[in-house]
Structure formats: structure tokens, C-alpha cells
Structure 1
Amino acid sequence: MLNRIVYVNGDYINEHDAKVSIFDRGFLFADAVYEVTAVVNGHLIENEGHMNRLARSCNELELTLPVTIEELTHIQQELIRLNQLDEGGIYLQLSRGTAGDRDFAYPQNIQPTLVLFTQARSLLDSPKAKKGMKVVTIEDIRWHRRDIKTVQLLAPCMAKQFALSQGYDDAWLTEGGYITEGSSNNAYIVTEHNTVVTRPLSRDILHGITRQALLDLGAKHAIKIEERLFTPEEAMHAKEAFISSATTFVYPVVEINDQPIGDGKPGPIAKQLRDIYIDLVKRQSAS
């Protein structure tokens, strides 16, 4: 999108005029949190969950949100209007702000930096949802507060870049012999008894908003779900595998470490979950 209107600290401005100080702690220390909310038909999807998680991240890091959740939602909606965004997402980032100089200790009484911008992309119709993804497992080297959605994303970037450089679509991260999650998504497998398995919530994984919606929808549609640890070996011999995130919804995983999953094609449970989630998205976007 050319010449987007973005939001920076109370102002709606052209993206080319947007500036943040080089002394901003988000830039210097990754002292910042973020959220990405999907947009379909010009409507925010699952935004309440994203705002609740944002508030939790702020609380965990002692960050002050400079506007109310209601005001933040209005900012999101105004950006959708100004940029005529039909489908895609809104990125939101809140940093602790700019102090007088670089210092590790939290500065007191400074104004946080709040930035939002839109990204246009296709969500409902995706080639990866139809053909599936190939992933590779690598060691999880991230910090141990993955439940806080911070901008400390260098390790996930390295994981994703390694996967792409080796001919895969993404990486699944491992720790202590078990899968934690994908580089930017939650991970799932389906057992031979058609049980969906995903890692339970803890500080080891991000508490995915789409993840929770899928678990709720699965329960309503009589899909058996089990929250427990699972190994790369179990994943490679699973009946199905898939990932979820705010802007992918559900993507099937058809290959792990060069091992085809099932028959090497997207499986029926991943397809069913994507379909019923998209039904939910369409209902939300029509309201």
C-alpha cells in the first residue's frame, strides 16, 4: 500500500512523515509489546481477545497504555477507514517511550510511544491453506517469557530465515525434546484417533487468540482436543499437523523434516477447523 496513513502518538499522518526517536526504548532495548489484529470486510476480527492480551503484556512489563481500550479500538477503526482496508491486518506497537539517554533501568514519568499501521493482504483465500506447509524443527533459543507478546523477535526471524533458506516454509521450535510452537504461530498435531493435540498454555508459548478460538470451536463441533506436550517424532508420525495465527487462521502442515504427514496432503480436520473459523470470521465481519 502506497502512502498509507499511520498513527503515531495521537496523530494520523502519511507513512513517509512518521518518525520515532532513536532514543526510543523499543528501538534500543526491544522494550515494547505488539499485537496484530486481522481485518476482514473492513471489520476487526477477535479484537477483544487481542486487546485483553495487550493489557496483560503491558501489566507484565509495567508499561502504561496511554489510551483506553475503547479509544484504541476507535484508532484501529479510523485507520481502516482512512486506508480503505478491506482485508489484511492492523499492527499495533507500544514502547516504554523515549528517555533523555540510553539507560537500562526503566525511566520514570516518560510518555509511551504508540504506533499503529495497516497491512493489506489476502486472508480468506490463501495458497498455503490449500496446499499446506513444509516445516523444519530447530532448537528454541528465545527468552523464557514467550507469553508476553514483545517485539523481541530476532530469534523467530532467524528461525524463519533458516527454514526458508533450506527450502521449507517455516520452523517449529523445540525445547527439552518437545515442540513449543512455530516461529510465529501455534502448533498442532492430529493423532490416529483424530484427537487434536497442542501444547498447554504456560510461559513457554504465546497465548494465541486464534488458538483459543479454535479450541472453543473444536469443542462445539465435537472435535476431541488434548492440551499436552508432544515431540517432533510424534509430530512426524501424526495423522495431520497444522498451525494457527491471527492472519493465517489455519494452515495445514504436510511435511516435517522431509517426512510427509499422513498422505502428504492437507487433512480433513485442519480443513474443518479452518472452515468453521472462517465462518466465525464472516459472522464477525458482517456484524
Structure 2
Amino acid sequence: MQLVHTVEDLRAALRPFNSPVFVPTMGNLHDGHLALVRTGKPLGDVTVSSIFVNRLQFAPHEDFDTYPRTLQADCTRLEQAGCDIVFAPPEKELYPEPQVYKVQPPSDLADILEGHFRPGFFIGVCTVVMKLFQCVFSEAKGPRYALFGKKDYQQQMVIRRMVQQYAMPIQIIAGETQRAADGLALSSRNGYLSETERAEAVQLSLALRALARDALAAAGALPEKREALEALAMRALAVRGWQPDYLTVRRRHDLQPPSAQDAVTAQSLVVLGAARLGSTRLIDNFEI
């Protein structure tokens, strides 16, 4: 496996290949990231993973400075998963000057849910992903693939639409959420949890599963009952000491609330949630 730190070295390393497979990450890797590498590897002739903590997607009060940087351990795990090239640029390499050109995703998708509680988050995500795509795929001559995990459900939707809108010749593949034995979605931020919090953390996925069951039971009355069901799910977490931002039932295709005019079926819906446990903010989702 080759480790490179500059765009020039990355492009030189990729030049002999035709069909890159790309897994962008912020490092501090877990088995969910490695599953994306393994899923993507058969699709192309070279597998690339980036490790870059992107300042643009962090608000001033968030954990940019304390986000774990574990490059050596990450490289070991990526090599074991079959990754061929790791691109780990310093901040000055990707942002040699202030990034004043930014990608503005549409508000109907990017300013709801995560975008509502983390204003500007998806601008930062889209901007860095656009730049990373230019770094990784500029030399490609054949099919191009990029993999993102479904745990960040809204994020992979935003990126997929960005690729479509800009007519980028990249196929976006969504990998299934990887979970611990008790059902907790794997996340780099799980490492922030204390032992007691880790035991409690599974309650987010349990609350979302309960909301999904209630949504199915509501059937055609879901548009009228949705807000009450969501409030009930949020209260169930709040009484346990959580600070929920949202637990919600949405349409899969655009993340808008199902309306009375929708043909609401289980296959058309997704439940999503974000809540803070102590100082750690966790997200999760289930396609119903």
C-alpha cells in the first residue's frame, strides 16, 4: 500500500490505472469504513482512501481540534482491508489559500435535519468532496466509483445529487450501516462515550426501531399521526437523559415528511435520528 500526501503524488500514483474506487474518510477508522473498502475493491483496478479532517464542515463550537487523528493505525487497517493508496494531505495541501469557492447544495435537502442543526455542514461536505473527486478521478479513463456509508443517510443523498447535477461521471455506491453486536451504529465518535454512555447508546437505535414500528402501524393515517409519534419517540430518549435533536419519519427519495397525497408504503420511508448523550452527538437511521 502506498501513502501519499500531495495531490501531485496522488495523481502520479493513479496514472497507471483506469478505474479508481474511492472511499473518503476523516480517519479514526472503524469496521464501517473498512467494509466500504472491501465492497468497492472488486469494482475497479485501484482502491483509494482519503484521510482528511475537513475544517469546512465543523462549526466553531464543534470538535474539529479534538477529532482523533490516528493515521498510523488507520493505514494499518486500510492495508489489511486491501486498500492500495491512502491520500492523507495536510490542510495546506487541500486549502493552500482560503476556500472562497464553495458548493451550495439545495436548501430543500441540505437545510433540513442535519443541515438545520449544523448550519453550513453540507456546504463544507460538498466542497471538500468535490475537491477530493477532482484529485482522485482527474486521471481516470474508465468507470469511477465512490462509496459512502448509509449511516450518514442525508450526506450520501446530498452527494449523489451533487454528482447528478454536475454530470460527473462517478457512480455513488451507498454501503449498509455496520453495527456493533448490540445494534449501535459504528461511528468514529463512539470513542468519545464513557463506559456507562456506551451501554446506553444503543437506545437511539431502539427508539428509531420503535418509531418505525409505530409508523407502519399507523398505515394510511401516518401523515396525520407522524408528529405525535415523533414527539413520543423523542420523549422516550429525553427521559433517559438524552438531548434529542430529531427522531423523524421521512420519504426516502427526498427526506420530506410524507403527505396525505403520498402512497405511503414501508418501502417508501426512512426513520432518522440525532441525539446528544452527554457531550457526544450520535446519528442513526433505518430504511423501513
The structure with the largest strand share of the pair is: 1
The structure with the largest helix share of the pair is: 2
User: Given the two structures, how large is their TM-score scaled by the length of structure 2?
Assistant: 0.34
User: Given the two structures, how large is their TM-score scaled by the length of structure 1?
Assistant: 0.34
